[in-house]
């Protein structure tokens, strides 16, 4: 699990640090990255991928050694030839920086029980002469929302109330600034620095005073110190704590401790001092490492070789990381404001089911409250149960695949536990102003769907799944395949709203009807209770458009349906669609994947898309003979061993304006033909289902081997994708980890 690198150049390595109380960090070997609770509470300035190479406004300590300045982050001209060793563990970082004068050893982590990031810094004189050393912490304190990075940056500094306390600097803004509605701030941001052999000479709480007419690279105000008790208002803050000069003899070391925290009161912030000593630091570090090691040991694998086996605990950790980070708050994941995406949430739960996590049942149940009565769903799930939003950016869209994923997760849960009663639990539905598959609106009436008497309507879990999958299955285009709407799994296919169809997810919806039929047949009662309009739709008594009209004025009337009759109808619908797929979508020894906005197949004989093959095999809608042809054709056209395996699609050599933004990306990047781990893992899973083991094994291990290769620049785990240079991108927060674990375990 522990991994060590000798770093010769900045390759963009970073590590997430976090705890279950809410603190989230990203940290690099050069101490870049940030510390935050959420979108609106950042202790350090928010960072993106580019900031991995610009570390100066993040964690730093200045060492004045025999009159020359050296930085903890190594960003001085004197340190460009330093030896740098980087070690990561679950979940902590150790950096050893060595030059001819001294060695710096820094251990960093987030404790499990308090919202601070902790650092132990050990300075050792490796020269043969004594060193005169003066130490000053230099951590700019951002203390505001990420929204303010380019929106009222200066104005929000006027809110700052800065105070120097024993061994620390506190920042407590008066307000959380938002022109839509200002709120009183209830958070205190802090930097503390303490060492048993270090005496504080003073504090520099104001960034302007610290810079002193220079810059963060060349500060000229290090002597502008103030005493404990200094209070300053209305300026940018910095955690600059200056210590008296010390003398280190040859071979002598000194250790001290730094914390960066976000608390809800001054008293809570002051508790950071309790961790700034060797005993408390060591105890907290051991607790953190034990917590994550115990978690990952809940699902362990020994296969292929020791290197591979040792890499897999990091993959086990990845679904947990995404559960708490969502798709935000790491340098590559610089979009959105937190929260969890609908599709991501259900797939991350696959890993929790495998871990026998006791919270799974309640999480599954709560999530169904995000389904609308027209079969669509909220796309963002908040941190609290029942907290749903139409979309993270308030741009309401329909992803055509969203209704398909909950069933896969519930089916796995029921198979693992035998808990058929879960299917009959009653849950509410999400409601906002959107109706008719979000194409129409009505006056907002609250976020819980009500019946004719204005009471919350509740339907069983099986009703929720039947609704989403039946609507998804019947919402077809001119060619008889599921309408693409605003995109499917590939978010980049967002410009085929009119005539676009997703052949790929037509496979999944067809198979899902078969799975639903199986579940319904195993229910303990001989009937299923569903709302009237859903029954009429399932019996073809009303059209889809009529269904949308009716549920826009939902009454909540329920009917009993014979389970065998319903099961038979679902199987019939599935078989008819699978037959259509075989007749119209299987061409050139593989399945077509998409219909574009001109109503035509995207792919010719010379091009193909992995998604259609993965969904056909995963859904087991392909015949055995077709599966063999798919495996051979896909390998011939999309496989690239050197880059990590299977490309997501062929190179179309043009921007497909009739499909989506993905094809504006350079080929081999992200959703335009990268080695996309998620789809590769689902494809490999599908290959195994057809007993095409050599193909499936090759797909799995080629990707995993690439992730472990030094040239991939991946610290640990598997990334979202590999670029055209084989470099892993968007690490840690990827649903592919859940599918890799599911594949290995199954």
CA separation for the pair 744, 746 (Å, rounded):
6
pLDDT in tens, 118-145: 999 999 999 999 999 999 999 999 999 9
* Same domain, yes or no: 192 and 171: yes
Place of tokens 């970082």: 93
Task: Decide if pLDDT at 34 tops 90.
Answer: yes
> In terms of Cα–Cα distance, which of 530, 422, 425 is closest to 469?
530
Contact 84, 96 (CB under 8 A): yes
Helix (H) or strand (E) holding 262: strand 253-263
CA distance 593 to 501: 9
pLDDT at 385 exceeding the cut of 70:
no
393 and 475 share a domain?
yes
Instruction: Give the domain range for residue 638.
Output: 306-745
Please state, in angstroms and rounded to a whole number, the distance separating the CA atoms of residues 90 and 297: 12
φ/ψ of 738, rounded to 5, equals -60, -40
Beta strand extents in 481-591 (DSSP E only): 501-502, 527-531, 558-562, 586-587, 590-591
| Residue 393 banded pLDDT, cuts 50, 70, 90 | very low
Q: How many domains in the chain?
A: 2
**DSSP β-ladder status, 558-562 and 527-531:** antiparallel
184 phi and psi angles, rounded to 5 deg: -65, 135
- Mean pLDDT within 251-278: 97
In a domain, 301, yes or no: no
> pTM here?
0.94
92: closest CA among 75, 115, 112? 112
pLDDT at 326: 85
Q: Is 238 part of a structural domain of the chain?
A: yes
What is the reported pLDDT for 394? 52
> Contact at 8 Å (CB) between 133 and 68?
no
Which of these ranges, 19-23, 106-110, 382-386, 701-705, has the smallest mean pLDDT? Answer: 382-386
Contacts of residue 579, Cβ cutoff 8 Å, sequence gap at least 6: none
542 φ/ψ angles, rounded to the nearest 5 degrees: -135, 155
Classify residue 497 by its DSSP letter: T
Q: Are 738 and 595 found together in one domain? A: yes
Cβ(257)–Cβ(276) under 8 Å? yes
Please state, in angstroms and rounded to a whole number, the distance separating the CA atoms of residues 734 and 319.
7
Does a structural domain hold residue 548?
A: yes
- 180-194, 533-547, 560-574: lowest mean pLDDT where? 180-194
Considering the domain architecture, whether residues 614 and 690 belong to the same structural domain is answered as yes
The Cα–Cα gap between 232 and 164 comes to 9
CA angle at residue 427 from 423 to 429, to 5 degrees? 125
**Same domain assignment for residues 55 and 120:** yes
- pLDDT tens-digit readout, 642-655: 999 999 999 999 99
What residues contact 156, with CB distance under 8 A and at least 6 apart? 144, 145, 148, 173, 177
One domain for residues 290 and 317:
no
Cβ atoms of residues 246 and 259 within 8 Å: no
**CA within 13 Å, CB half, 20:** 7
Look up residue 497 and give its two tokens: 């709203």
Q: What six digits make up the tokens of 638?
A: 């999309």
Give backbone dihedrals phi and psi of 511, rounded to 5 degrees, phi first: -65, -35
Residue 473 in tokens: 């299955």
Q: What's the rounded Cα separation, in Å, for the pair 73 and 220?
A: 18
**CATH number of domain containing 147:** 2.70.98.40
pLDDT digit string (tens) for 193-205?
A: 999 999 999 999 9
Chain centroid to Cα 101, Å, comes to 41
Read off the CATH number of the domain in which 485 is found.
1.50.10.10
Chain-wide mean pLDDT for the chain? 94
In 578-619, which ranges are E strands?
586-587, 590-591, 594-595
Domain assignment of residue 189, yes or no: yes
Q: Are 16 and 91 in contact (CB under 8 A)?
A: yes
| Contact between 657 and 651 (Cβ < 8 Å) | no
Q: Phi and psi at residue 541, in whole multiples of 5°?
A: -85, -25
Q: How close are the terminal C-alpha atoms of the chain, in Å? A: 23
Q: Would you state the structure tokens that stand for residue 491, as one six-digit string?
A: 């978010």
What's residue 582's pLDDT?
Answer: 98
pLDDT bracket for residue 383 (50, 70, 90) = low
Q: Are residues 578 and 470 in the same domain?
A: yes
- Cα distance between residue 172 and residue 506, in whole Å: 54
What does the angle CA 649 – CA 13 – CA 639 come to, to the nearest 5 degrees?
20
Distance in angstroms (rounded) separating the CA atoms of residues 645 and 647 = 7
What average pLDDT does this structure show over 412-439? Answer: 93
Asked if residue 484 is part of any domain, the answer here is yes
Pair (247, 395) in one structural domain: no
Same-domain pairing of 310 and 260: no
End residue of a domain, out of 231, 263, 296: 296
Contact 121, 17 (CB under 8 A): no
Q: Are residues 204 and 341 in the same domain?
A: no
Report the C-alpha gap between 568 and 347 in whole angstroms.
28
Residue 386 has pLDDT above 70, yes or no: no
481-483-487 Cα angle (round to 5)? 125
370/346 Cα distance (integer angstroms): 12
Question: What's the pLDDT tens digit per position in 160-182?
Answer: 999 999 999 999 999 987 656 67
Provide, rounded to the nearest whole percent, the portion of the chain with pLDDT above 70.
97
Domain membership flag for residue 534: yes
Is residue 206 within 8 Å of 232, Cβ to Cβ? yes
C-alpha span between 241 and 257 (Å, rounded): 12
In the listed set 249, 268, 296, which residue is the last one of a domain according to the structure? 296
Same domain flag for 234 and 288: yes
Of 265, 296, 327, which one is at a domain's C-terminal end?
296
**What average pLDDT score do residues 352-370 get?**
92
| Residue 361 within a domain | yes
Instruction: Say yes or no: 565 and 591 in one domain.
Output: yes
Q: Residue 384: what pLDDT?
A: 64
């Amino acid at each position: 699990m522990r991994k060590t690198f000798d770093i010769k150049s900045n390759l963009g390595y970073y590590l997430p640090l976090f705890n279950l109380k809410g603190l989230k960090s990203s940290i690099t070997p050069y101490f870049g990255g940030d510390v935050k609770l959420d979108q609106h509470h950042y202790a350090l300035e928010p960072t993106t991928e580019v900031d991995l190479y610009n570390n100066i406004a993040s964690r730093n300590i200045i060492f004045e050694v025999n009159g020359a300045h050296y930085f903890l982050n190594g960003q001085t001209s004197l340190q460009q030839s330093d030896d740098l060793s980087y070690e990561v563990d679950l979940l902590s970082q150790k950096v050893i920086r060595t030059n001819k004068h001294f060695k710096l050893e820094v251990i960093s982590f987030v404790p499990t029980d308090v919202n601070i990031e902790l650092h132990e810094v050990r300075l050792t004189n490796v020269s043969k002469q004594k060193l005169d050393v003066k130490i000053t912490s230099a951590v700019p304190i951002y203390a505001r929302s990420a929204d303010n990075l380019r929106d009222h940056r200066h104005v929000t500094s006027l809110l700052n109330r800065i105070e120097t306390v024993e061994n620390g600097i506190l920042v407590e803004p008066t307000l959380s600034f938002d022109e839509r509605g200002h709120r009183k701030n209830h958070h205190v941001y802090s930097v503390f620095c303490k060492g048993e052999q270090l005496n504080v000479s003073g504090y520099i709480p104001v960034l302007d005073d610290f810079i002193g007419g220079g810059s963060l690279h060349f500060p000229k105000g290090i002597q502008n110190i103030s005493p404990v008790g200094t209070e300053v208002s209305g300026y940018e803050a910095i955690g600059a704590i200056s210590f008296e000069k010390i003398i280190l003899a040859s071979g002598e070391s000194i250790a001290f401790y730094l914390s960066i925290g976000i608390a809800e009161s001054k008293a809570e912030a002051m508790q950071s001092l309790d961790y700034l000593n060797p005993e408390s630091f060591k105890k907290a570090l051991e607790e953190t490492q034990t917590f994550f090691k115990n978690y990952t040991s809940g699902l362990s694998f020994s296969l292929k070789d020791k290197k591979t086996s040792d890499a897999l605990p990091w993959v086990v950790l990845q679904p947990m990381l995404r559960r708490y980070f969502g798709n935000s708050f790491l340098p590559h994941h610089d979009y959105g404001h937190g929260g969890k995406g609908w599709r991501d949430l259900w797939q991350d739960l696959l890993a929790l089911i495998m871990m026998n996590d006791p919270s799974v049942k309640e999480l599954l149940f709560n999530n169904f409250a995000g389904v609308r009565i027209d079969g669509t769903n909220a796309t963002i799930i908040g941190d609290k149960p029942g907290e749903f939003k139409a979309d993270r950016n308030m741009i309401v869209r329909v992803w055509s695949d969203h209704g398909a994923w909950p069933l896969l997760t519930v089916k796995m849960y029921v198979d693992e536990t035998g808990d058929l009663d879960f299917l009959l639990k009653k849950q509410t539905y999400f409601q906002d102003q959107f109706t008719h598959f979000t194409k129409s609106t009505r006056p907002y009436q609250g976020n819980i769907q009500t019946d004719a008497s204005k009471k919350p309507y509740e339907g069983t879990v099986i009703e929720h799944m039947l609704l989403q999958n039946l609507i998804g299955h019947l919402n077809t285009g001119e060619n008889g395949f599921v309408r693409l709407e605003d995109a499917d799994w590939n978010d980049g296919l967002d410009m085929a709203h009119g005539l676009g169809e997703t052949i790929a997810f037509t496979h999944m919806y067809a198979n899902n009807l078969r799975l639903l039929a199986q579940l319904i047949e195993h229910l303990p009662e001989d009937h299923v209770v569903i709302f009237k309009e859903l029954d009429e739709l399932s019996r073809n008594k009303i059209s889809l458009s009529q269904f949308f009209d009716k549920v826009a004025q939902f009454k909540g009337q329920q009917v009993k349906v014979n389970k065998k009759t319903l099961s038979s109808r679902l199987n019939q619908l599935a078989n008819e669609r699978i037959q259509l797929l075989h007749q119209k979508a299987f061409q050139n020894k593989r399945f077509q994947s998409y219909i574009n906005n001109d109503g035509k197949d995207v792919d010719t004989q010379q091009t193909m898309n992995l998604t259609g093959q993965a969904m056909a095999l995963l859904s087991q809608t392909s015949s055995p003979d077709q599966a063999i042809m798919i495996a051979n054709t896909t390998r011939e056209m999309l496989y690239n061993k050197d880059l990590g395996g299977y490309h997501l699609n062929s190179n179309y050599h043009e921007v497909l304006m009739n499909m989506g933004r993905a094809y504006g990306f350079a080929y081999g990047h992200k959703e335009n033909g990268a080695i996309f781990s998620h789809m590769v893992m689902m494809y490999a899973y599908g290959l195994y289902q057809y007993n095409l083991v050599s193909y499936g094994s090759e797909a799995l291990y080629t990707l995993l081997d690439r992730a472990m290769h030094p040239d991939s620049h991946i610290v640990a785990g598997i990334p979202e994708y590999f670029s055209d240079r084989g470099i892993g991108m968007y690490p840690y927060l990827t649903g592919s980890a859940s599918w890799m674990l599911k594949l290995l375990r199954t």
